[in-house]
Every structure is written in C-alpha cells, then in structure tokens.
Amino acid sequence: MALDLSKTITQLEELTRHMSGQRDAHAAALAAALAHLASADPDEVEARRRAGQVTWLAAGLDPSTGSGQALLAGAVAPAPLPPDHAVVAVDGSHIDVDRHSPVRCYLVNIGYVSLRYGELPDAALWNTPRLFASDDDLALRGPQGNREQAVEGPVLGMLRAVMEIEALADLVEAVPAGLPVLALLDGSLILWGLSGSGYPDFVRTALIDDRLLPALDRLRTLAAERTLAVASHVSLPRSTDVVSALRIAPEVCRWEAVNCDRNCGALRRGERNCDVVAGVTDAQLFAEALRPGERSPLYRTTSSIVEEHYGPHQVRFFYVHLGEEIARIELPQWVGDEALDLAHGALLAQAAKGHGYPLALQEAHEQAVVSTSDRTHFAQLVDELLAAEGLPATTSQKDRSKRTRFI
C-alpha cells in the first residue's frame, strides 16, 4: 500500500508553521554570528579553546600566514588560474552485502575523470567495478584472528571512501609531469564513522593505518614533485565548526574559563549565553560574509579521529562561495600556498562549467553511480550464474515475498 499523504499533510502544515515562527530567531542569531565573526579576537578564541573544556567541535585557529596570527574572519579573492593545468576526480558507489542473497558479496564501482586544460586539452572518463566475495574481503580481523568486523553497512562505506583516495593517487601519478593538478574527492576526508564509535581498534587500524595513511603518503610525495592540491568537496555542508568557535569567544560565552559541562551543563537550549548564535551553520554564516568567488581563511578540524590518528595528514578546511552555494573544502595540511591558490581558482572554474557543482565531480559521479535497475540486474545475474552451475540459490521467505505479487 502506498504512503497515504493525506494523513501526513496536517503534520507537514504544523512543521512549516513552526519553521516560519523560527525565522526571526534565526535571523537574529545569524546577525549576531556575523557581528562576532568580525569582532572576535582569533588568538584569544584559540587560547580559550586550547585551555578549556569545550562541548562543541570548534574549529582550530592556527596561524595560516607568515604573520603568525590566527585568522577567524576575512575573505580571500581567487588567484589567477594557470591556463595549463589538470583536474582529476574520483567518486564511488557500491552494492552492499545482501543478507537475503544466496551469495555473500559486495561490489564497489569507482568512477574516474581526468581533464586537461590549456594547449593540449584532453579528457578521459571511465569506471572500474570490483566484486569482493572472499573471506578476507568480507571481514576485518583483529591481530589474534579471534575477532572480526563484517565489511558491510557503514564499514563498507568507509572502506569505499579509502578506496577512492587510493584511486585518486593512481590518477595523479598518470598526469604528465610538471602539470599543476587539482585532485578532487566528493565528501569529507574525515572518516567520521570512527569518531567515538563502538568499533574495535583493529577496524581503525585496518582502515586508517593500513590503507588511508599510505594513500595520503603517496599523494604527499607527489605534492613534493609538482603543484598538487588534494581537495575534498562537501556540498551543502551542515557543519558548525566556525560558529562553534564563536560560541567560546569571551563576548559570547561570558564565562572567564571555558567549561561547557560545568558552567552550562544543567541549562536548557536557549538559556546558555552562547545560544545567541545557536542554530546557524557555517555555510549560512559565510553566505553572508563572502562574495561570489571568495573563500574564507583556513581552519583546522579538531576531530579526535584526525588529531589522534591522521599523523602528518591533519585536515584543514575553508569555505568558498561558488556562486550557487557555499561549499566546504577539506585539504591535508601539507597542501602549500601555491596549491591552495590552484584549488581555489580551479574549483571556481569547475563550478562555472558544472552550473554550480564541479564538473569533474559530476562526471565522476556519472561514471560511478549504480542505479536501482543495476542493482536488480546484479541480483538476477547472481541467481542465473548459480543456477547455471547447479548451485543452490536459496533466499529468505521475506525476500521471496517482496518479489512475488499477491492478489
């Protein structure tokens, strides 16, 4: 039976009325955030973050220029883009393990794009699907071999993200020497699923130590040989790292020492001093603070998974006004100033070609996407191949009932 929207319309009307009632409060919070962004002392904010006990994931405000001063506010205009440059991008999709299927397996499809601009323009687009079905592929195992974590669901999603970074290193290695390169990923560089998770340590070791860090090491080596900007593009970001840094500014927090749990742990939302900027995302803040084409200063993520386990590949990020939206761009800390300028200028050019979203990532997605019909045909092909070999193709009664139409 289809969803009866007539039973939901009243609830949706109540939701829209609630949102309308919150409009003025949000506008006031945004105005306050903009004012404090302009007036807060970044060195003081960073000192309070380092010395305090902060509930929020507040952006780190390390010095990002030769002045030695941390930056919180500011708008950076794009530098000229070199006419001869390359943009490479990867994206991925997967078919997860289906517990109703007679075969335990998963498929990862990586889409590749390599675009060259300038005197010798060129373009190459392709994808590579890989099927994983061995015992070693289907589980991550602890060092003693007596504990394991199935590779499915969120774990498979994180593994695919790591495979995309490995694929990106392969793409960069294939670009002609000396050509500046913007290497793009879709989504975050941070494996958020491992932050405060219940996964055992060997899962983090397998994903970060054994796979992610070696791939980033390869990219860092390549960056020492050429101008290379490795950047991960987050569209419509919901993060609040910069706004959270404003929350601990002395003029907003108003406590002499920052200790969120001790000072305000018993207070409800709306009763805390810092709620004057609550409900505002970084993207909303920079939509007002930046003009089209401009980017924010560089900030540092204070995610525990990055600070404790990414080693020399700590993650910096900035926000850029791409015309249609504010995007969050994440980069390893070793991306230098020249490469940062390349990332800024090339992202703007790619967004202009892609109607607001980087063209290379659009094409990588098209190469990688696994459609609903693809998934259905994949399942059918598995059944047919099993039958051809005389192997059992049993499935669950639940799955069988979904495939059968009853009168």
Two tokens at 115?
A: 């675009």
- What is the structure's pLDDT at 359? 97
Identify the pLDDT of residue 4.
81
Query: Please, which residues bridge with residue 330 across strands?
Result: 232, 317
Q: Which residue from 160, 147, 142, 149 is spatially nearest to 96, judged by alpha carbons?
A: 160
This prediction has a pTM of: 0.91
Q: Which residues, 6+ apart, have CB-to-CB distance to 152 below 8 Å?
A: 96, 97, 106
How much is the pLDDT for 378?
84
Q: Is 394 contained in some domain?
A: no
pLDDT of res. 400 = 53
How many other C-beta atoms can be found within 10 angstroms of the C-beta atom of residue 349?
17
Considering the domain architecture, whether residues 254 and 181 belong to the same structural domain is answered as no
Residue 143 is predicted with a pLDDT of: 86
Query: CA Rg, the chain, in Å?
Result: 24
Residue 331 falls inside a structural domain? yes
Output the six-digit token pair for 70.
């941390």
In 140-159, which positions are buried (b, 16+ CB within 10 angstroms) versus exposed (e)? beeeeeeeeeebbeebbebb
* CB 332 within 8 Å of CB 189: yes
The answer as to whether 57 is a domain residue is yes
Length of the chain: 407
| Residue 156 sits in the same domain as residue 177 | yes
- Can you give the pLDDT at residue 62? 82
In terms of domains, do 253 and 314 share one? no
Query: From CA 325, how far away is CA 356, in angstroms rounded?
Result: 7
Same domain, 184 and 131: yes
Rounded to whole angstroms, the maximal C-alpha distance in the chain is: 75
Residues 364 and 317 in one domain: yes
* In a shared domain, residues 226 and 249: no
Instruction: Per residue of the chain (407 residues), give pLDDT as tens.
Output: 677 887 888 888 788 877 777 788 899 999 999 999 999 999 999 999 999 999 889 999 987 655 567 899 999 999 999 999 999 999 999 999 988 888 889 999 999 999 999 999 999 999 999 999 999 999 999 988 789 999 999 999 999 999 999 999 999 999 999 999 999 999 999 999 998 768 999 999 999 999 999 999 999 999 999 999 999 999 999 999 999 999 999 999 999 999 999 999 898 988 899 999 999 999 999 999 999 999 999 999 999 999 999 999 999 999 999 998 999 999 999 999 999 999 999 999 999 999 999 999 999 999 999 998 988 888 888 787 787 877 776 655 555 555 555 45
Tell how strand 106-117 and strand 122-132 pair up.
antiparallel
Residues 168 and 259 grouped into a single domain: no
Same domain flag for 213 and 347:
yes
DSSP conformation class of 148: E
* Residue 129 β-bridge partners: 109
Average pLDDT, the chain: 91
Whether residue 350 lies inside any domain: the answer is yes
> Within a domain: residue 253?
yes
Question: Cβ distance 164 to 341 under 8 Å?
Answer: no
Based on the fold, state whether residues 139 and 186 are members of the same structural domain: yes
pLDDT tens for residues 46-93?
999 999 999 889 999 987 655 567 899 999 999 999 999 999 999 999
> Under a CB-based contact definition with an 8 Å cutoff, are residues 183 and 228 in contact?
yes
Does 389 map to a domain?
Answer: no
Number of domains in the chain: 2
What are the tokens at 215? 């791939």
Instruction: Look at residue 18 and tell me if it is in a domain.
Output: no
* Residue 144: CATH number of its domain: 3.30.420
**Do 110 and 196 fall into the same domain?**
yes
Task: Supply the pLDDT for residue 100.
Answer: 80
> Which residues constitute the domain of residue 268?
35-73+240-280
Same domain, 230 and 257: no
Check residue 286 and give its pLDDT: 98
